[in-house]
Structure 1
Amino acid sequence: MPTPTGGFANAMATAYRAGQMEQVIALAAQAPETGSADEGIMLWLGLAQQTTHRYDDAAATFRRLSQMRPEVSAYWNNLGLACRQSGDAAASEQAFLTARSLAPGDAEVLYNLGLLYIQQRRWLLARLTLLDAVDLSPHFIEARLQAAHACYICGDNNSQEAMLAGAIDWPPQPAEQALILAAMLAVQGDPDAALRTLAQAELPPEPEAGIMRLRLAAQRIALHERSNQVELARDELQQLPLSAIDRLPPEAPCARAEGWSTHAALAMRAADHAAAAALYRQVLAVATDDQSRASAAFGLAAACNRQGHRDEAWQALLAAHAAQLDIARDVVPELLAADSQPLQMTGRIVSRAAYASWRRLSSPDGRKSPVFVVGFPRSGTTLLEQMLDAHPDFQSMDERAFIHALTERMELVGQHYPADLATLTQTEADQLRAVYFRMVDRVLPGLGQHRLVDKNPLNMLCLPMIMRLFPQARIVLCLRHPCDVLLSCFMQPFRSPAFMVLCSSLQRLARGYVQAFEQWYRHVEVFAPHVLEWRYESVVSQFDDHVARLGQFLEVADASPMARFAEHAQGKRFISTPSYAQVTQGINRHAVNRWHAYREQFEPVLPILRPLIDRLGYTE
């Protein structure tokens, strides 16, 4: 016959499984005095308290349980959950760490700890913890999604893609997670999967469901705009009028910000810059996190710049970079030191003497090697990529850091990059090329006989790897006036934490720009690669001549399809770089000498840039 307290525990379990949480709590209150120390009663009480959002009470209950049975990891895990939900982050972390020490193979504990780190914006710890959870349980979808999110914030694109492998087959996600997943799928260049994720999102109960429908609609419209489907975006925007956004309750700032941002982006597309600026100011007034503040401030700067309001544009840029620096502080705190080097590859140099010691290996010829499009970001690389992609002989894969990933692969197996390029065996070099083409095949499974275009601006810093694996490759270096490049970088919301730091001030950006080109020219002198310099200002003024010159360099019989790049770009579903809208508009000179409007701000950095301005053949 069950003991009295055992009978209460059984009754509470039955009520809990039936969803009768208040009955569970009432039964606990009716239990005999000795029931307050009964493990079963306390367990069901704590679970019911958590379910009914009595987080302080749940924390107290699970704290007693963990003191009674300190060897039970599940009690510490539940204590961590209750403390996290009640806002006691320190106690939550300690409880999860204790649970992990008791059950190191429990992926659920690591997942909960990772969520705590996300809540605290401790992104590096969140990434490592959640990746460990996925290692323990590869089919734990919630852990994969949150690990991908942490990798996304940390700029770990390769791990993010690995975490999202197979996401197309995942079951529908709760709406909040669906918004995160859709954003990541879009960045990976799969807007169709992103839209499907939004369409299948599971809504919360009313009235939250109404707010979430608006957020889902705003992200769907933003995806259409980002995919250059502007008319479709405008059609759907009619279902999201400003009046509906204005009627949202004050406790829905995210929905307000997302709705206004969507209207602002399409106002910019329609050249209604004053309306866009007003909307971005509204977003800034309600923004609750650094990412929202940064995005809105960059948008406001662009709108003010188009109106000729330079001072307000510059102030908005300073606010945007301050917000991005706060994001970077959580991810790459070591780079915030004044003497840090965000472009760490600039310090990786191969000397003439080192190159002379390289073991001679066989390699593909020029036509079987990728065409590499390099240059500092915002130098016209996306324009050139779309020109090449418009030609039937070529196929681009959008912007991928595959060459950089090979340098990381060397380091992971104990080889030092670039020093150990000298001693690579033929087998090791072949294996690195195979790894590269496997990564390519995942994004371009139909490459076939097309010549691959690998456009990644900062591959200019990985020239030793390119020359080791593809020494006969054709490389196009995109150039543009350094001040125009820096202004354009300063006005863009880059996603890489290291680039956020690099662009946090014009001085730091100018130093990084000069360091990148110093490394490039040193390596050009060492390796003597097949390089064509593609100067933006000359291209826009003598377009046909430069298309012909490009065709000759790449040994293309008919280069004329490249001239139809704008039409080609309009037909592409996704272009990942900030130039996604500009490249659909054809050639124009609007981007030439833009920096003159901000010459006052550039005066302090001109001494840093002057030697390179002269070397590149530009004038101030």
Structure 2
Amino acid sequence: MITPASSSKALVESMLAAYNAGDMTNVQAMGESVRDLASADDMVLLLLGAARQATGSPESAVALFRQLVQRKPHVSEYWNNLGLAARQAGDYALAEQALDRAIELAPLQAEVHYNLGLLYAHQQRWLTARETLLQAVGLAPDFIEARLQAAYACHFCGDTRGAEVMLDGADTWPPQAADHALILATILSSLGYQDTAFRTLAQAILPEGPERPSMERRIVAMRASMFERSNQIDEAYAELSQLPLDVLTSLSPGEWELRHAGLQVHANIASRQGQLEQAATWFEQLQHERSDVHLQANAAFSVASIRNKQGRHAEAWHALDAAHAAQLRFASDFVPELLAEGSQPLDMVEHAVDRRAYDGWSALRAPRSQDSPVFVVGFPRSGTTLLEQMLDAHPAFRSMDERAFVYELIKRMQLAGQSYPADLASLTQANTDQLRDIYAGVVRRVVPDLGSRQLVDKNPLNMLCLPMIMRLFPDARIIMCLRHPCDVLLSCYMQPFRSPAFMVLCSSLERLARGYVDAFEHWFRHVEVFAPRVLEWRYESVVSRFDEHLVRLGEFLQLDDSAPMARFAEHARSKGYISTPSYAQVTEGIHRKAVGRWQAYRDKFEPVLPILRPMMERLGYSE
């Protein structure tokens, strides 16, 4: 940010006029005509430094801005300019020092917080970037660039709800520069707002000059990826016709983002079309092209998935080892405390209500069963997405994809100084009505067309939030999805989850096994306390006797006709975006391919079977 100092000199006026006209060459020429820059007017140094920075000479700009902060160390804007130039020059220590000083001098200046947040993001210090960028938004709620970058930092931190809050109203934002449009579309797509994401790309403001063709191709790659992720394979393939492989492989090193995005979507589509070896080759290339641990992990997980389909189990496990090693390096920056021995990634298991505490709950009015959501729960990778799509295919129901809205209510209680779940007992009628109103409000933003249909709230780990569900919706019907614990663990171990805590939980079979047992012990403890309306939905039984269980499901939900739910695969194909890793599988219909997959890795499971056996027996499973 350039802040003019008062000056009547003709040189300053001429330089300022050239700067405002975008003529940086002339600004430099006039500034460098000054014989003694050490004694030049502040504004001359400021304009000359900005011009050098704009024309690719940030190191020389740093020298000029150093002079300015030495002259006037109490001017925040000068420190801000020094920080920006230092970041561009690659001197991150100086950039951070300068921007910290600028914030000390002007703590309410949103733009300085924004610049510091961008520095942290550039260094991939995502937690600190998120905090700093959220501060910028707090100081200037209408600062669109800050909201976008804060959303991106939340996205990287696994804070889905934070990203959604930052992008509230993004459908009304003005067209964005192409690089910002790509970021915005990436996050919107991950949140399920596909139409807004496509519109964002269509309205992107492309750069002029030699960068334009590359940016156009990156948008094509993004569109292709979004189509594939929405199960629109023909449309994705049509987009890729503009990105042939020979073009991607001939790109310069500076265009690695385009090459990576293009090859990734080529590989995804090849895998879905059965060209497994070709897809694996491309993913292996991507795995070793960049040092970015996030990209390495995602590519390695894709390799593992393909090798597993090919029956090359040793190679699959080798790829999984690499994927989890990369994810742990990523997660260690976010949740280092969870890497300690005995840590608990599933923090909700430590919050329980016993019978005595429940007896102290006051009786409050609550919605009837038919006016409450249907909650679909279970440990991740237990078939919850399949069931969700079945329910969503029925005209009586409407799902909202996977949302953590119940968790958000718990956080709101805690932020208000209340203890969860202990203070559920002291909630008044007004308190619970307010929490239900908050829940209804966030639901309406996601499914404004809910109408008279009953909401399906599918979030597997809501199984750990039963006290909150029972306080707000005590008559709700809850469906607990079950699947062989070893198949569940294997599937979790093969997924690139975004949550850093879940990355740690899934980093080894032993951690996963203990987490699985902890989660179900917590669930059964609360089932004994609350006696909720629960239907157990067992994956293996459903795929072997689908019609029988469809009728059973309809009876539990008091439906006159359960037949529409049988057409879930067709419904899923037409629905578009599905956020979970099962987005492709649920379009294939019922099959048994996922039953007993763990047996191919039995040697890996032998050490954790003693942890699982008691819970396996309780759930009705054998080895």
TM-score if structure 2 supplies the norm length?
0.97
Structure 1 stretches lacking a partner, 5+ long: none
Q: Confirm or deny: 8 A CA contact 1:388 1:562 kept in the other structure.
A: yes
The 5 Å alignment of 1:72-151 reads 72-151=75-154
Q: How far did 1:82 drift?
A: 0.8
Of residues 22, 30, 34 in structure 1, which corresponds to 2:33?
30
- Pair 1:483 & 2:486 matched: yes
Of residues 498, 509, 512 in structure 1, which corresponds to 2:501?
498
Q: How far did 1:144 drift?
A: 0.6
Residue 9 of structure 2 aligns to a residue whose secondary structure is helix
- Pair 1:326 & 2:316 matched: no
Residue 330 of structure 1 aligns to a residue whose secondary structure is coil
CA distance in 1, matches of 2:257, 2:361: 56
CA distance in 2, matches of 1:9, 1:225: 55
CA distance in 2, matches of 1:30, 1:268: 62
Question: CA, structure 1 residues 22+593, in 2 after alignment: closer, same or farther (shift >3 Å)?
Answer: same
Query: Letter of the aligned partner of 2:252 in structure 1?
Result: P
RMSD: 1.5
Query: Letter of the aligned partner of 2:486 in structure 1?
Result: C
Q: How far did 1:210 drift?
A: 2.2
Residue 478 of structure 1 aligns to a residue whose secondary structure is strand
Q: How far did 1:584 drift?
A: 0.9
Q: Confirm or deny: 8 A CA contact 1:476 1:531 kept in the other structure.
A: yes
Q: Confirm or deny: 8 A CA contact 1:83 1:91 kept in the other structure.
A: yes
Of residues 428, 431, 434 in structure 2, which corresponds to 1:431?
434
- Pair 1:455 & 2:458 matched: yes
Query: Letter of the aligned partner of 2:94 in structure 1?
Result: A
Of residues 571, 596, 599 in structure 2, which corresponds to 1:596?
599
Which residue number in structure 1 is paired with residue 239 of structure 2?
236
- Pair 1:54 & 2:62 matched: no
CA distance in 2, matches of 1:449, 1:548: 23
Which residue number in structure 2 is paired with residue 8 of structure 1?
11
Query: Letter of the aligned partner of 1:442 in structure 2?
Result: R
Q: Which moved more, 1:309-318 or 1:8-17?
A: 8-17
Question: CA, structure 1 residues 21+522, in 2 after alignment: closer, same or farther (shift >3 Å)?
Answer: same
CA distance in 1, matches of 2:416, 2:226: 39
Q: Which moved more, 1:412-421 or 1:37-46?
A: 37-46
Q: How far did 1:266 drift?
A: 0.3
Residue 575 of structure 2 aligns to a residue whose secondary structure is coil
Q: Confirm or deny: 8 A CA contact 1:15 1:24 kept in the other structure.
A: yes
Q: How far did 1:300 drift?
A: 0.8
Q: How far did 1:33 drift?
A: 2.8
Query: Could you tell me the percent identity over the aligned residues?
Result: 60
CA distance in 2, matches of 1:440, 1:52: 48
Which residue number in structure 2 is paired with residue 534 of structure 1?
537
The 5 Å alignment of 1:112-511 reads 112-511=115-514
Q: Which moved more, 1:411-420 or 1:361-370?
A: 361-370
Q: How far did 1:356 drift?
A: 1.1
Residue 476 of structure 1 aligns to a residue whose secondary structure is strand
How far does the alpha carbon of each residue in 1:4-34 deviate from its partner, in whole angstroms, 9 at most, with x for none?
9933322322232233323322322322437
CA distance in 1, matches of 2:451, 2:287: 48
Of residues 65, 70, 84 in structure 2, which corresponds to 1:67?
70
Q: Confirm or deny: 8 A CA contact 2:37 2:45 kept in the other structure.
A: no
What count of residue pairs does the alignment treat as equivalent?
Answer: 618
How far does the alpha carbon of each residue in 1:127-180 deviate from its partner, in whole angstroms, 9 at most, with x for none?
121111112111111101001111111222222111111111222222222221
Q: Which moved more, 1:52-61 or 1:468-477?
A: 52-61
Question: CA, structure 1 residues 4+43, in 2 after alignment: closer, same or farther (shift >3 Å)?
Answer: closer
Structure 2 stretches lacking a partner, 5+ long: 1-5
Q: How far did 1:523 drift?
A: 0.6
Q: How far did 1:298 drift?
A: 1.0
Residue 108 of structure 2 aligns to a residue whose secondary structure is coil
